Amino acid sequence: MSSKEDLLIEIGTEDLPARLQLGLCHEFGQLICDQLHAVDLSFAQHELFCTPRRLAIIVNKIDTKQKDQVIERKGPKAQAAFDQDGKPTQAAIGFARSCGIETDQLKLDNDPDNPRLFYRENRVGKSIQELLPEIIESAVKKLNVPKRMRWNESNAEFIRPIRWLLVILGSETVSSNVLGIQASNTTRGHRFHHAQEMVIEHPSAYKELLSSKGHVLASVAERQNEIIKQVNKLAEQVKGKPFYTQELLDEITGLVEWPCAMLGEFDNKFLEVHKELLISTMQDNQKYIPLLSQNDELLSKFIIVSNIDSQKPEIVKHGNEKVIVPRFEDAMFFWQRDKAVPLDNHLTKLDNVVYEKQLGTLKEKTNRIAKLAAYLSKFTNADKKQSQRAAILSKCDLLTETVGEFPKLQGVIGRNLALLNNEGSQVSAALEEQYFPKQAGGKLPKSAVGITLALADRIDTLIGIFAIGKKPTGLKDPYGLRRAALALLRIIIETPLNINLRECLETAAEQFPETLHADKAVDEVSEYINERYRAYFSDRGITADVIDSVLANKPTHPSDVAAKVNALVNFRKLPNAQALAIANKRIRNILKKIDHSDINQVDASLFKEEAENNLHAAIEKMSDDVQGLFAKHEYEQALNKLADLRQPVDHFFDDVMVMDKDEALKTNRIALLAKIDTLFMQVADFSRLQS
């Protein structure tokens, strides 16, 4: 039985890209753990560490040696393994070769009737020290990095040059060589505060020693919590609120090993520029954290998270304040220039900007969106003229100098300029909201015109790109069609809106030139959107069989799909649900063999068994109520009523032979089952539910 030890692996590098660190850290840990499992080395748990200069993992209580194994393999039968002269045939030779031995080392088993060759090997398990070098090098080479670089004559490649390698098992250094770097038991502290090497006596000492002596917080979570604590404390001092996204916080965390936050400030004159412009400059360019007042107005103060605990913090503070001034001045310059030009002055320029070679210019796209927005407005309760106006102006801010310099502010600049030009609150809001949601889980458009424009833009894009044959393939999705389709579903379901999405796609296709044959793309786009339902509902914890059951009917109204999915989820909690699902599966299997044109109306006079009468009576009794609930989209209540069919359905299958020799009886019984199937199919195909 092998002993257990703790294992520490650390790869020291030049500064890793901050935005990639978390992904690299988790992937590195997963690769190491997967390969340890693959070579049959078990362990208790693991902990990951990541800073700008290191990727590390501690694996606790890992086997120090593989288990010994007895490997037995059976080969060809004796009569096939040897010829008449007792010499080995090609079958025996091939089997020996596959075992890595000579034929004279093979043996026959003890079967007296039909003996065959076999090979037994007592395989001694390898030590972890033997296995680790290949495991570590393989993990490093398999890491998914966008671009690798070389840093010496060895031709070794990694995302950044590797400067040291630490591998210790318990208190022992494991001899390893990864990409030309020899392992040791030393790590390095903070580049400025403790650049010297530090000996790690045991994996359990790693984190504490780096922190207390090396000025490095190796844990991402601990480092991020420390940043938040410092930021909140500074914000309270000026009665402000820090404004940041998780993405920004992750990036700042990836830029520092020893976070030291400090307050900076800028001239109040820059507050004349719209706050989104200043916030974008601070966050995107400088990785600063802006501060807002309690009324959400931008303060002329911000927070810097430095990687140095400086003895002269005022110098660091002054340097950061100084570097932001020219960026703010640029922002103010562009904004002042754009303010002087009415937004609709850019309309003529849209004719000169190609949206997509086969789909025309941005002007042609906005004209299509305007027509589609007018159609959609009746479903979104938006003003038709305002929807069309918003669509016409929707791409104008792309031609402003500000968006040219700050692309992330598309829509925001359009909104601000529209307000200055007195375009009205609905139109102005829509110019920003057309891009909502910007990412998975992002906020949705709220204004009626904004919802209309967001839908129209995405529907036009989907139909157009599919029509020219550039639909997504594999991982490639240059036009963001997956995001567009998911955004459509989210907006319609979560607003919610009663929209027939297929009819919207057909209307969008009509706006394209006839030569493009966009109408032929409608089926493809419709199917593509239906596939996105799986991702949408899976993210919300809905099982695949429920989703498949509802999608079986090729639904056209997303909000209706959501209502049916929710109803089905709750229905499955009922005591009768499983039995009814099994019965429905049986019904569907029977009906699959029947030509539906041969199914007639139920004739009660043909009933022979009491179970037939009882089932028919139960259906007739609840049918009107259930259909009324379906009409009002109250699917859960309808299913609750249908659950009462469980007992008469069970009795029917217990007492009645459906496929009777009497053709009239058989046809009538099939018609009765078809009536049940029709009721349930208005919600889902219950036969697809897993028991």
The pLDDT value given to residue 81: 78
Minimum mean pLDDT range among 183-187, 278-282, 679-683: 679-683
pLDDT higher than threshold 60 for residue 329: yes
Query: What pLDDT, in 10s, does the model give residues 148-206?
Result: 888 877 778 899 999 999 999 999 999 888 888 899 999 999 999 998 999 999 999 99
Spatial distance between the Cα atoms of 464 and 441, rounded to a whole number of angstroms: 26
pLDDT band at residue 125 under the 50/70/90 scheme: confident
Percentage of residues in the chain having pLDDT higher than 70: 99
Average pLDDT over residues 107-124: 78
Tell me what pLDDT residue 55 has.
Answer: 97
| 4-66+127-212 and 345-540 agree in CATH topology | no
Burial 33-52 (b: 16+ CB within 10 A, else e): bebbeebebebeebbbbbbb
Alpha helices in 468-609 (DSSP H): 481-494, 501-509, 522-538, 544-551, 558-571, 577-592
4-66+127-212: CATH topology is Alpha-Beta Plaits (3.30.70)
Q: Which fold has domain 563-688?
A: Isoleucyl-tRNA Synthetase; Domain 1 (1.10.730)
Mean pLDDT of 360-369: 97
Parse the chain into domains and list their residue ranges: 4-66+127-212, 70-123, 220-339, 345-540, 563-688
Residue 434 has pLDDT above 90, yes or no: yes
pLDDT recorded at residue 147: 86
Q: Which of 22-31, 303-312, 565-574, 594-603 has the lowest mean pLDDT?
A: 594-603
Q: Which band of pLDDT confidence, cut at 50, 70 and 90, is reported for residue 691?
A: low
- Per-residue pLDDT, averaged over 505-512, amounts to 97
- pLDDT band at 598, cuts 50/70/90? low
pLDDT for residue 549 is more than 80: yes
Cβ atoms of residues 667 and 600 within 8 Å = yes
Residue showing tokens 């068994």:
609
User: Span 337-344, mean pLDDT?
Assistant: 95
Burial tier of 248 (Cβ tally within 10 Å: 0-12, 13-18, 19+): middle
Judge contact between 601 and 691, C-beta under 8 A.
Answer: no
- pLDDT in the model for residue 596: 62
Confidence of residue 646 (pLDDT cuts 50, 70, 90): confident
pLDDT at 72 over 80: no
| DSSP β-bridge partners for residue 214 | none
Flag whether pLDDT at 515 surpasses 90: yes
pLDDT at 192: 92
Does 1 have pLDDT greater than 60?
A: no
- Averaged pLDDT, 605-610: 88
Has domain 345-540 been given CATH number 1.10.3210?
yes
pLDDT at 80: 78
Question: 473 or 260, which is more confident?
Answer: 260
Longest dimension (CA), the chain: 103
Q: pLDDT category, 537, cuts 50, 70, 90? A: very high
pLDDT at 251 over 70: yes
- The residues, ordered by sequence, that sit 6+ positions from 582 with a Cβ below 8 Å of its Cβ are 691
Residue 597 pLDDT:
64
Distance CA 432, CA 455 (A): 13
Phi/psi-derived region of residue 248, left when phi > 0, alpha when psi is between -120 and 50, beta in every other case? alpha
pLDDT at position 50:
96
Residue pair 11/178 in contact (Cβ under 8 Å)? The answer is yes
Mean pLDDT across 637-663: 88
Using CA atoms, how far apart are residues 241 and 223, in angstroms rounded to an integer? Answer: 20
Share of the chain above pLDDT 90, in %: 69
Looking at the chain, how many residues does it have? Answer: 691
Looking at 266-316, which runs of residues are DSSP E strands?
Answer: 289-292, 298-306
Give 74's pLDDT tier (boundaries 50, 70, 90): confident
Point out the least confidently predicted range of 18-32, 582-596, 648-662.
Answer: 582-596
